């Protein structure tokens, strides 16, 4: 997230189905996924339960997970990517990411991507 903000952009955070669909349509034919402004946090009373929080620290009230997600498959999937089909997947925060920088494609340099 800091990378996009450093470049003068913002992190998209769809808060309802219409915004999610609009973001997904932006991706179609351009990029595979878009990093969203959501991050996982552990429930202090149940370390196996995770929540996804918005940038202001409030809990997300809208979610559009791909079936089987969020699965925390890598054990540290604390960020969220949106696919062109509109579904979300929790991913490692160091994975390659494309951000919506006010309509300009901003991508973390590949040297910083884990693959
Ligand atoms: Ca996942």
Tell me the C-alpha distance between 39 and 55, whole Å: 8
Which uninterrupted H or E stretch holds 5?
helix 2-6
Q: What is the pLDDT of residue 57?
A: 85
Ligand 1 midpoint to CA 34 (Å) = 14
CA of 83 to the centre of ligand 1 (A): 12
Q: How many angstroms is it from 87 CA to the middle of ligand 1?
A: 11
Alpha carbons within 13 angstroms on the beta-carbon side of residue 89 total: 14
Q: What is the pLDDT of residue 44?
A: 79
User: How does DSSP assign 40-91, residue by residue?
Assistant: EEEETTEEEEEEEEETTSPBPS---BPTT-S--TTS---EEEEETTS-EEEE
* Strand-pair partners of 8: none
**pLDDT at position 109, please?**
45
Q: For residue 89, what pLDDT is reported? A: 94
66 Cα to the center of ligand 1, angstroms: 9
Query: Tens digit of pLDDT per residue, the chain (115 long)?
Result: 555 555 555 678 889 999 999 888 887 777 778 888 899 998 778 877 888 998 888 888 999 999 999 999 988 899 999 998 999 999 988 766 665 544 545 554 444 444 3
Q: What pLDDT score was predicted for residue 74?
A: 80
Closest to 35 (Cα-Cα) out of 12, 7, 19: 12
Distance between Cα 70 and ligand 1 center (Å): 5
Q: How high is the pLDDT of residue 45?
A: 84
Q: Where are the beta strands (DSSP E) in 3-45?
A: 33-43
Q: How far is the CA of 111 from the centre of ligand 1 (A)?
A: 22
Give residue 88 CA to ligand 1 midpoint distance, Å: 8
């Amino acid at each position: 997230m800091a990378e996009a903000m450093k470049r003068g952009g913002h992190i998209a955070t769809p808060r309802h189905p219409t915004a999610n669909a609009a973001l997904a349509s932006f991706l179609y034919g351009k990029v595979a996924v878009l990093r969203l402004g959501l991050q996982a946090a552990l429930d202090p009373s149940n370390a196996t339960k995770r929540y996804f929080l918005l940038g202001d620290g409030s809990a997300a009230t809208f979610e559009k997970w791909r079936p089987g997600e969020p699965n925390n498959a890598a054990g540290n999937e604390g960020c969220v990517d949106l696919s062109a089909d509109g579904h979300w997947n929790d991913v490692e925060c160091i994975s390659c990411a494309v951000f919506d920088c006010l309509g300009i494609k901003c991508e973390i340099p590949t040297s910083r991507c884990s693959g």
